[in-house]
Structure formats: structure tokens, C-alpha cells
Amino acid sequence: MRKPVVLITGAGGEIGHGLIDGLAQRGDRAIVTIDISRLDDTIAKKVDREVTGSILDRALLERLMAEYEIDLIFHLAALLSTRSEFTPVAAHQVNVEGTLSLLEFAQHEGESHGRPVVFIYPSSIAAYGLPSLDEKQNAGKVSEDQYLHPTTMYGCNKLYCELIGTYYARNYKQLAAESHSGRVDFRCARFPGLISALTLPAGGTSDYAPEMIHAAARGENYGCFVRSDTQIPFMAMPDGVDALLALASAPRDGLQRTAYNVGAFSPTAEDIRNVVVKAFPGAEIAWATDDKRQRIVDSWPADVDDNAARRDWGFSPRYDFHRAFSEYLIPTIRKRYA
Ligand code: SER
């Protein structure tokens, strides 16, 4: 029998880096990637086949379908929230039409191989839209079904794709109940801002946290584009990757939802600045608010309730705020720029 195949879209991005490592270590599937750009050497050598191209290229997806028996997809390709505000139509094309193409791709793979394709989708706190700062303060940890009124193109895209993913999954459950071979087993983790020690994000609005840390480590000045009291949830990248891997291997029967909040810690921008300045004493970090980006983070929750993920698939992040900095971010970033 052929080794099963995992497909990762947007594999060259921040999550892709850690995920490829994790999947390569596990070694149970051949790894096929698609990204619009070439992967960097550190990860390229760990994949079995690297395809450079767009998820909007139907012919490319059809060729992959003919060639591989894919039973697991991590669909990471997306334009992030700030970038999407500058190019909303392109964002809709990649984030929504791209996801629809991949869902159709998964459904056809499932049909032709007679077993369901597990489809892992990273959504975001951008799916939320809190109406005011007062309400944000009062809301505390928000659950999956509250405040779903995103204000950004990216947030709308993510929320809608959670819904169409659930639509494809419903189809899957119904078919499985009628003992047909299943098709798309859609599972979504709704992420907070992710902070990686190894890569920098591009075009996101939670980027102030990773940018502040990396700039300090490089000895560069940084102007933080949100107010000091800004609060949104964050997570260290290794926990983000582990969450995706855990969600992918969770037994289907235990999953009571298709979209799950995951959270880890929820510092203010000032809390982050304080630990960064302590770790890198010469760091120059000023406040330089960008109104548009501020409005975006003000509409995101201060924290998320992730009890459903803990209950249904054992989500349990390793890094709280202090461990994330002392055991992961600071030592790894120091080494990186040494
Ligand atoms: N980190 C993302 C962004 O800022 C949120 O999903 O766009």
C-alpha cells in the first residue's frame, strides 16, 4: 500500500515551519506542500514534494489529486488581517475561494479513495467583532458562539470558511451515518495571535508582539502600532503547532464542534514590552499608534474560553506568558540573532 499523504497549503508561512518539523518527526505520512513561494532550505529538505504555485490554480490541484492519495490537509494559506484590508478582493479570492477549492478537492479525494479526508483549518480571533472597548472589557473570555460580527475582510473570510467547512463536514457525518464512505472531516482551531521565535509574521495585526521581541533582539528601535493597554490573547508557536496536530489525530466521535477556541495567555502590549525590556535591557520601544490597526485589535476579544477544546481533544498549552518568554522566545531568539 502507498504511504498516505498529508498536504499543507501555505507551507512556507509561520505555522508551516513548525508543522513541517512536527510531521517530519512523526514520519507517518509523505509530506506534500503548496506555497506561492519556494520553501526555505531548513524546511524544504523535510518535505517529499514541494509544489510552487497558487491554491487558486485548479489544474495544479487536479494534478495533485491524480498523483497522491491525500487523507489529511492542513490548509494554512491565507492573507492576514492588515494585508487583507489593503487588498480586500485579493484576500477574498485567496481566503475564501481558495478554501472552497480545497474543500472541493478534499471531497473528491475522499470520494475517490473511499475514506474521509481530515481537513484542518486555522481560523482566528479575527472572527470576532466586539462592538466597543467597554463591551470587550466586560465580556472577558468569549466562547465560540459569542460576538461573531467581524469587522475586517480577513475576519469575515475566516468566519465564513468555518461555516462552509462545517457545511462540508455535515455532509460527511450524514454520509457516514448512512454507511457511505465519508468525505470531508473538517476541524478548525480558532487561534489567538501566534508568536514564533524562528519566523516573523507578515501582514497581521497581532504582529506588534512578535515584531517588538524580534526588533529588541536585533538591537533595533521599535514603534508599537497599538496602545499600551491593548489586550488580546496570544500563544507560543510550538503550542499552536501541537494544537493542530492534536486536533488532527483526535477521535472523531469525541468532537462535539467543528470550530474550537484555543488560547494560552493574554497580556497587554505593555506587559509584553516590560518582559522584552527586561530581557534585552537596551531595547527602545515606543508607542506609535496606528488608528486603523488599533481599531482592528480593539474589536478582538481580550481573551477566549477554550474549555471545549480542552474537554473534547485534550488541548493543553505548555507555555503560559512567563514560560513562553523564559523557556521559548527569549532563549531561541537570542540564539537566532547571536
Ligand atoms: N495573527 C492574525 C492577524 O493578525 C490573526 O489571525 O491577522
Residue-wise pLDDT for 263-311, tens only, equals 999 999 999 999 999 999 999 999 999 999 999 999 999 999 999 999 9
pLDDT (0 to 100) of residue 172 = 62
Task: For ligand 1, atom 3, name the residue with the nearest CA.
Answer: 204
Identify the H or E element spanning 82.
helix 81-86
Substitution site in 205, 262, 290, 294 for ligand 1 pocket (most atoms within 8 Å of beta carbon): 205
pLDDT (0 to 100) of residue 111 = 87
The finding on whether 329 has its CB within 6 A of some atom of ligand 1 is: no
Ordered domains of the chain (ranges, CATH): 3-191+237-261 (3.40.50.720), 195-233+264-302+319-333 (3.90.25)
Q: Which ligand 1 atom sits nearest the alpha carbon of residue 124?
A: 6
CB 184 within 8 A of CB 172: yes
Substitution site in 79, 123, 124 for ligand 1 pocket (most atoms within 8 Å of beta carbon): 124
Q: Grid coordinates standing for 227?
A: 496602545
The finding on whether 152 has its CB within 6 A of some atom of ligand 1 is: no
Q: Grid coordinates standing for 133?
A: 472597548
Mean pLDDT across the chain, nearest whole number? 95
Strands (E), the chain: 5-9, 30-35, 49-52, 70-75, 117-124, 141-142, 184-191, 193-195, 222-224, 234-236, 259-261, 285-287, 303-304
Task: For ligand 1, atom 2, name the residue with the nearest CA.
Answer: 204
CA atoms in the 13 A half-sphere facing the CB of 44: 9
Which residues does the chain have with pLDDT short of 70? 1-2, 171-182
The DSSP bridge pattern shows strands 259-261 and 141-142 to be unpaired
CB 48 within 8 A of CB 32: yes
Q: Grid coordinates standing for 61?
A: 490541484
Q: Distance (Å, rounded) from C-alpha 88 to C-alpha 75?
A: 20
The finding on whether 269 has its CB within 6 A of some atom of ligand 1 is: no
| Residue in this structure with the C-alpha cell 491524480, named with its chain if needed | 66
Q: Distance (Å, rounded) from C-alpha 165 to C-alpha 119?
A: 9
pLDDT (0 to 100) of residue 175 = 62
337 C-alpha vs ligand 1 centroid, how far in Å? 25
The finding on whether 126 has its CB within 6 A of some atom of ligand 1 is: yes
The finding on whether 299 has its CB within 6 A of some atom of ligand 1 is: no
Rg (CA), the chain: 20
Q: Distance (Å, rounded) from C-alpha 231 to C-alpha 241?
A: 23
Closest to 224 measured CA to CA, from 273, 163, 266: 273
Residue-wise pLDDT for 148-177, tens only, equals 999 999 999 999 999 999 999 876 666 666
14 C-alpha vs ligand 1 centroid, how far in Å? 11
